Amino acid sequence: IFDNIGTNDVIAGAVEVLVGVDTTTQEDATTTTATGINDPTPDPPSITTVTANAWVIAIGSSTEADIPTAPTNYINLIEDQSTGTNIMMATREIASPGAENPGTFGGIVGDASDSWCAATVAVRPAANGGPAALAGHGLLLSHRRNRLVQLAA
């Protein structure tokens, strides 16, 4: 769902559902964020997982409406474009804990008038030893004047 509020305000939302996530500590690491101007390509920042089989979710938004491709080795790409915003995210299971840099989303051309914002989230699997499993897609992200805005969960 997209809601173009005004010239500089654009909000986009979607949902991703993972099953098998630790119910006590859902995030495996502190979420990282980044923004960029004069460039259309979201570049989710590095995150360091601490648990084997954690899922890393790369999230991006751009003012350029080109259809994106997932960062290298990421799967389950979801994307949607509307006037003024382009949202995207993809996932990757990280077998061994450590630093993970998703890299940029591809396929977005744009120009120097574009801007982007991005986040990287690490999700901890449940303690039963199995990895979290993707059950559906989504995200909650706002691209508002080139910064991430936290929305109520």
- pLDDT score recorded for residue 104: 97
> What's the pLDDT tens digit per position in 88-108?
999 999 999 999 999 999 999
| C-beta atoms surrounding 16 within 10 Å | 21
Residue 120 CA, distance from chain mean position: 6
50 Cβ partners below 8 Å, 6+ apart? 28, 29, 97
End-to-end Cα spacing for the chain:
16
pTM above 0.95, yes or no: no
Would strands 9-13 and 54-62 be described as parallel, antiparallel, or unpaired? unpaired
Residues of the chain under the 50 pLDDT cut: 1-6, 137-153
